Chains A and B, each alone.
Chain A
C-alpha cells in the first residue's frame, strides 16, 4: 500500500489504511506499507517519480514495512508454520520468522517474539543466533533507510536554485551583521564557511586563526557564527589528542577550537594536538595510533577545516597554516544583530540549505576547475603556502564569477601583508630577521656567531635571550652567547669552516641567501639587506671569448628580486655589495646597475 505522503497526517486516511491492511491480512495477504517521503512538491508516487525518478520509487518499495497493526499476526503465523513443520524445520521457515520479527519496532515486543521463536526451534537453532540474525536484519534495514533518506535529500537539494555570488554575499552579510570584524574578514569567513562544505575536493584546506590581544573582542562570537554555517561543525574548547583524531577520522567535521591558547603551549598534550593539526591541512593527512588489545597500528585521517581562537594568536608551523583574523574590541554603541542560539538557528536555516545545495550542485564544476589549474596556478602572484591556503577559496570565487574573484584577490593581498607582519612577530622568524640584519651589517665576508652577538644583543628578538645567558666571567658569557647563536644557525644547515682561532666561520653571502629564504615574503618591515652577489646581474661576458659565467639563481624572498622583476626595494643598498665584490673570495663576479659600481665591475673583469 503506497498512499500519498500526507496519509499519516490525515486521521481518516490512516484509519482507512489500517482497516484495509487488517482486511487484506485477514484474507491471507502479506501487507507492506510503503511510505512516500514528504519532500517539496511530492504528494503521490507520481510526483516522487517526477522528482526522484524510478530509483526513488524503487527505494520506497524496497523499504516498505509491514503494517504495525498486523505485524504481530504475521509473526504468529510464521511461528505457527515452524511448529507445524517441526521437526523438519526448513531455512525458509526460519527466514520468514526472522524477517517478520525484525520488522517489529517495539524492543520489548521484539524480545518476547525472539523468545517465542527460540522456544519453537529449541534444540535446532540457539537463541543467540536468532537474536544476532534479527539484529543484523534490523541494521541492514536501517542502513537502507539511511541511504534512501540521503538520496531523497540529494534530490531535494538538486532542485534548489543557487546563485553562488549571491550566496557568498549573503554569508558575508551574515558575519558582518553579527560581529565586529576587520576589513575583508567577513569575506574570508564567508569563503571559509563555504569551503567547509566542499573541502574534500581540494588537496589543502586553510585553517583559520582568530586572534586578539585581549579578551572580549568577539572571537567566540565568530566561532558561534561559524558553528551555525559550517558543515558538520564541532565546537570545542577543551580537546584531548585522542578526541581530536578520532572525531576527525569519524566525522570529517569543521573543528572550531575556542580558547586555543593551550594548543600553543609546551605541554605534551599541546605538542600532540599541534602535530595532528600540522598534519591535517593536507588531503591524506593521517596520524598512526595503536589500537585494541593487540596494539594494531591504525592510521587516522585528520584532514579537515579547523578554526583556532586564541588570545595572542598562534605561532610557528600552525600559524603558517592559518588565515589570520586579528580582532579588536567593538566600538561602544555599535549595534549588531543577535547571536543568541535561537536567533542564529532561525537565521541560518535558509543559508544552510543554500550551502548544502551549492556543495552538491557545484562539486563537479569545482573539481574540474581545480584539476584544470595550470602548474603556475590561476594566480601566479600567489605562491607556495599562500597558494595552498587561498587556492581553494579562490577556486570558489572563480566559479562564482570575475567580480567575486577580483574582490577576494584584493582581500588576499591585504591579508597576506598582515599575516607576514604577524608572522614576523613569531620568535623564530623575528630572530631570523634580526640575525639577517646583523650579518648584513657585519663588514667582513665571513662571520662567526660571536661576531654578530653585539648587534643581536641590541635587537628586540635576541636581547632577552642573550641577556639571560650566565657564566663565570665575561668571557664565558660571551662564549655561551655565541653558542646560542651558533645553535640557532644550525637550524639552517649552513656549512661553515673553522677559522684560525678555532671558531666556526660562515660566509656572509651564503648565510644571507639562506636566511632570506626563511622569512616571510612581502614582509613590510624587513631590514634592507645588502644585495647578495647573485641578486644583480648574473651574467658576465668574459673578454676574449663568448663564454659567460652564470651566477646562482635568484632566490625568492627577502630582497632577492632584481629591480626589473618588481622588487619592493629596488634602490641599491648601503654599499655592502662593494665589499663583497672587492673580495677575492667571492666566487662569482657581479655587475651592478649603479653608476658608481661600474668601475668596480671593470676591475672585477680584469681580475677574472
Chain B
C-alpha cells in the first residue's frame, strides 16, 4: 500500500483503518499509472487515490474510480473530482469480505453513495454497535425466508431497471 501518511490520516478520521484499505486495495497512483494501469485517460492530471471495484463472484477487478488530487476548478468548485475509465459504465462497489454473503438472502444490504461511505460503514460498525444495529434490523429482516419472491437483487437488475446513477453498496454481515 502506497498511501501517504496524510491519506491515511484522512481515512482514519472516517474510522477507516489501514488494514481495511489494504484489503480493499485502495492505492495512490500517479498520472501515468492511472492511465496505464486503470485506463483513466481523460485530459488533465489524473494522479490521486484509486478505489478498485472487485466482483464478489470471482474476485477479479472489474473497474475502478479515481479521486483526483488536482481536479479542475470551475466557478470555485472542483470539476470531475471522481473519474472512471474512459467509456466505462456504472458498477456496484462491494466492500472486502462480502463475497460469501451476497447469496445469503438474510443479509441486509446497505446502499450508500460513495466508496468511502461504504468502507467507513463497515469499519465503523464495530462489534458492539453492530450487535445493536442488528438487533434493530433483525425485526426488519427476520422475515427473509428464501422464497421465490425474494430474489437477491443483482447489479445488472438494479442498474438496468432502476436507471439509478448512485449504486454503491456496502454489505453488512449479520
A binds B: yes
Residues in A lying within 8 Å of B, measured CB to CB = 1-4, 12-13, 16-17, 19-20, 23-24, 27-30, 32, 34, 44-47, 49-50, 53-55, 57-58, 61-62, 64, 92, 95-96, 99
Q: Do A23 and B126 touch across chains, with their CB atoms under 8 A apart?
A: no
| Least CB separation from B147: chain A residue | A28
What chain B residues lie within 8 Å of A29 (beta carbons)? 109, 150, 153
A49-B14, A61-B137 known; A23+B124 contact, CB < 8 A: no
Q: Do B110 and A27 touch across chains, with their CB atoms under 8 A apart?
A: no
Residue from the list A3, A49, A50 in contact with B113, Cβ < 8 A: A3
Q: Do B150 and A27 touch across chains, with their CB atoms under 8 A apart?
A: yes
- B13 within 8 A of partner (CB): yes
- B114 within 8 A of partner (CB): yes
Q: Do B111 and A30 touch across chains, with their CB atoms under 8 A apart?
A: no
Alpha-carbon separation in the docked complex, A44 to B117 (Å): 7
- B112 within 8 A of partner (CB): yes
Q: Do B129 and A55 touch across chains, with their CB atoms under 8 A apart?
A: yes
Q: Do B166 and A44 touch across chains, with their CB atoms under 8 A apart?
A: no
| Least CB separation from A29: chain B residue | B153
Q: Do A16 and B116 touch across chains, with their CB atoms under 8 A apart?
A: no
Alpha-carbon separation in the docked complex, A27 to B137 (Å): 19
- 30 sample A-B contacts, Cβ–Cβ < 8 Å, listed by A number: A1-B111, A2-B112, A2-B117, A3-B112, A3-B166, A16-B163, A16-B164, A16-B165, A20-B158, A20-B164, A23-B158, A24-B153, A24-B158, A27-B149, A27-B157, A28-B147, A28-B149, A28-B151, A29-B109, A29-B153, A46-B116, A46-B121, A49-B15, A50-B13, A50-B120, A57-B121, A57-B125, A57-B129, A62-B136, A64-B140
Q: Do A50 and B136 touch across chains, with their CB atoms under 8 A apart?
A: no
Q: Do A19 and B150 touch across chains, with their CB atoms under 8 A apart?
A: no
What chain A residues lie within 8 Å of B13 (beta carbons)? 50
Q: Do B121 and A45 touch across chains, with their CB atoms under 8 A apart?
A: yes
| Least CB separation from B123: chain A residue | A49
Interface residues of B in 115-161 (CB under 8 A from A): 116-117, 119-121, 124-126, 129, 132-133, 136-137, 139-141, 143, 147, 149-151, 153, 157-158, 161
Number of residues on chain B facing chain A (CB within 8 A): 40
Interface residues of B in 66-92 (CB under 8 A from A): none
- B57 within 8 A of partner (CB): no
A2-B112, A16-B163, A62-B133 known; A49+B120 contact, CB < 8 A: yes
What chain B residues lie within 8 Å of A64 (beta carbons)? 140
What chain A residues lie within 8 Å of B133 (beta carbons)? 58, 61-62
